[in-house]
């Protein structure tokens, strides 16, 4: 079995307009930047994206925004992207913000086959509007539903031809849960190795969850926000 495809463009070639797409990463850490660039080149439109962040202007998912590919977005933090703010204010993009822990758990539930679960986060706020609540013990909880996607685009440090993946440090963020929560999972890796070369104890995503593997061509790894301290003050 060999799940490696020739290029990022080949890997995303059958993603259709209107699809729901999960994209891994936290800020700009661990994002599948080569797959994102290929998706932009493909020209698909009307995508419904799920990601913790929305990239920044000119990089990551910011490129998808600039290309007019995204119809709606579900995420936790979007504060680094001015274009997104402008599109939402003009009513040209539907944005749903979810507390970060709820977002991670809703994706994890989608991959685990759990249709819904109760959490206290969001109770008494706009997050809970229109949702079922339930008293359990001495607390009231909000019912949250699972999230799944047609496609997940994720990023790993190392992977083998069977699709087994290892993430490096902070890049082990939303990628592992998103790998399990889509009908089609495409993994971008920095280094490709042969089956048996990965320490089984270090594998985070087993190959059974991964459909395609592509080796990333290069990585810019920019800093999302830079704070410089001068004169003892930030």
pLDDT digits (tens, 9 = 90+) for 161-170: 999 999 999 9
Q: Count the helix, strand and coil residues of the chain and give each as a percent rounded to the nearest 5.
A: 25, 30, 45
Compute the distance between CA of residue 188 and CA of residue 213 in angstroms, rounded to an integer: 6
Residue 15: pLDDT above 90?
yes
CB 184 within 8 A of CB 12: no
Residue 224: pLDDT above 70?
no
Residue 227: pLDDT above 60?
no
pLDDT digits (tens, 9 = 90+) for 129-175: 999 999 999 999 999 999 999 999 999 999 999 999 999 999 899 99
Domains and CATH numbers, the chain: 8-215 (3.40.1080.10)
The pLDDT value recorded for residue 55 is 84
Residue 70 is inside which H or E element, if any?
strand 70-75
* Residue 199 β-bridge partners: none
């Amino acid at each position: 079995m060999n799940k490696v495809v020739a290029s990022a463009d080949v890997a995303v070639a059958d993603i259709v307009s209107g699809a729901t797409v999960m994209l891994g990463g936290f800020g700009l850490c661990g994002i599948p930047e080569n797959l994102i660039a290929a998706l932009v080149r493909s020209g698909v439109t009307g995508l419904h994206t799920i990601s913790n962040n929305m990239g920044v202007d000119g990089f990551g998912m910011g490129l998808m925004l600039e290309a007019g590919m995204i119809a709606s977005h579900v995420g936790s933090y979007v504060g680094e992207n001015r274009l997104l703010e402008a599109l939402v204010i003009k009513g040209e993009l539907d944005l749903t913000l979810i507390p970060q822990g709820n977002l991670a758990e809703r994706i994890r539930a989608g991959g685990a086959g759990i249709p819904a679960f109760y959490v206290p986060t969001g109770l008494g706020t706009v997050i809970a509007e229109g949702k079922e609540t339930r008293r359990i013990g001495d607390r009231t909880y909000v019912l949250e539903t699972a999230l799944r996607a047609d496609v997940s685009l994720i990023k790993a440090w190392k992977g083998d031809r069977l699709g087994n993946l290892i993430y490096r440090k902070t890049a082990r963020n939303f990628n592992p849960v998103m790998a399990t929560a889509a009908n089609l999972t495409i993994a971008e890796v920095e280094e490709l190795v042969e089956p048996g070369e990965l320490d089984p104890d270090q594998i985070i995503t087993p190959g059974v969850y991964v459909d395609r593997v592509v080796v990333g061509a290069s990585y810019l790894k920019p800093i999302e926000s830079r704070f410089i301290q001068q004169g003892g003050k930030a």
